[in-house]
């Protein structure tokens, strides 16, 4: 069936309210994009990550409604849903029927991280290299949620896991993926030799996506996902947390307590210039703290003091 597409600009601060109003009046899907994106390959974000707002200050929200939805009535309903938001800048267009997530997936190509790690769309043939006997291939449906490897923060964490595997540090290990989103980092750790992975996220939809992707990759019995207040108390030799710098600072005691003595931690979601605060916050519990950069993003790694 055809759809009615509504597009409205907003700021990073306003985004949750706009999205909530759109969902409350029956939006079938909401996608987010950088309002100033000039690059032809700019990707939409189908959902933000754990506790995160999008990574842009000015955004464009696009929502799909059933075809034939009256535009004036829709605007009236949106104004009633949140009368303080500016809906006068909303624009509409009729669009033909298509599978929106699958259309986006058709443009998503397999990606390699490090020497062995591959993220491959579930419906894509394995590229050369990903079919090697020692390749760690994660089959992912990026349309489901939160993380597909395309963002530098995720790439930095995948590269780190790949390096740990090359050092033998993942073999048989238990891994904590704090802020798991789609479960991509936990899945990669399992494919690289970890025995078990625990995902933690404060969004129930992320837990569903993680479980779905775990089943898709044949590791459902080795990956568990929990809300933060339900996570079993435990320590891990490997912890990865791809969240925001402010959250990393606020959760320093919690994350430090999750890392076993001598264990490794990787933290990302840190903009260049924010790494000093993160390093200072973790210095009391970790040695060998190091910052690595990819584009405008930083990954901080360290070893838990014994």
| CATH fold for domain 152-304 | Rossmann fold (3.40.50)
The pLDDT > 90 percentage for the chain reads 56
Q: Where are the domains of the chain?
A: 3-97, 152-304
Q: Is 201 annotated as a binding residue?
A: yes
Q: Is 86 annotated as a binding residue?
A: no
| CATH fold for domain 3-97 | Alpha-Beta Plaits (3.30.70)
- pLDDT value, residue 1: 62
Q: Is 69 annotated as a binding residue?
A: no
3-state SS record for the chain: CCEEEEEEEEECCCHHHHHHHHHHCCCCEEEEEECCCCCCCCCCECCCCCCCCCCCCEEEEEEEEECCCCHHHHHHHHHHHCCCCCCCCCEEEEECCCCHHHHHHHCCCCEEECCCEEEEECCCCCCCCCCCCCCEEEEECCCCCCCCCCCHHHHHHHHHHHHHHHCCCCCCCEEEEECCCCCHHHHHHHHCCCCEEEEECCCHHHHHHHHHHHHHCCCHHHEEEECHHHCCCCCEEEEEEECCHHHHHHCHHHHHHHEEEEEEEEEEEEECCCHHHHHHHHCCCEEEEEEEEECCEEEEEEEECC
- What is the band of 163 on the pLDDT scale with cuts at 50, 70, 90? very high
pLDDT per residue as tens digits for the range 183-194: 999 999 999 999
pTM of the model: 0.69
pLDDT per residue as tens digits for the range 196-235: 999 999 888 788 889 989 999 999 999 999 999 999 889 9
Q: Do 152-304 and 3-97 have the same topology in CATH?
A: no
pLDDT per residue as tens digits for the range 25-64: 988 878 777 666 543 344 444 334 444 444 467 888 888 8
């Amino acid at each position: 069936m055809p759809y009615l597409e509504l597009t409205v600009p907003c700021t990073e601060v306003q985004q949750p309210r706009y999205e909530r109003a759109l969902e409350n009046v029956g939006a079938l899907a909401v996608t987010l994009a950088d309002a100033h994106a000039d690059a032809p390959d700019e990707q939409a974000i189908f959902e933000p990550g754990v506790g995160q707002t999008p990574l842009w200050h000015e955004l464009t929200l696009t929502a799909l409604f059933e075809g034939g939805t009256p535009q004036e009535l829709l605007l009236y309903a949106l104004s009633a849903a949140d009368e303080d938001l500016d809906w006068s800048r909303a624009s509409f267009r009729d669009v033909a029927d298509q599978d929106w997530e699958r259309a986006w997936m058709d443009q998503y190509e397999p990606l390699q991280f490090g020497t062995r790690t591959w993220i491959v769309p579930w419906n894509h043939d394995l590229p050369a290299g990903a079919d090697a006997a020692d390749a760690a291939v994660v089959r992912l449906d990026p349309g489901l949620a939160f993380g597909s490897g395309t963002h530098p923060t995720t790439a930095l964490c995948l590269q780190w896991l790949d390096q740990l595997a090359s050092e033998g540090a993942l073999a048989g290990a238990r891994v904590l993926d704090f802020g798991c989103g789609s479960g991509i980092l936990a899945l990669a750790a399992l494919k690289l030799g970890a025995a078990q992975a625990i995902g933690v996220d404060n969004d129930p939809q992320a837990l569903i996506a993680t479980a779905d992707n775990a089943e898709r990759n044949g590791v459902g019995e080795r990956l568990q996902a929990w809300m933060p207040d339900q996570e079993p108390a435990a320590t891990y030799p490997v912890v990865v947390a791809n969240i925001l710098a402010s959250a990393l600072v606020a959760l320093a005691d919690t994350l430090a307590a999750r890392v076993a003595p001598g264990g490794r931690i990787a933290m990302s979601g840190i903009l260049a210039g924010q790494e000093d605060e993160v390093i200072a916050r973790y210095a009391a519990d970790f040695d060998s703290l190091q910052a690595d950069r990819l584009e405008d993003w930083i990954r901080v790694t360290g070893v838990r003091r014994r």
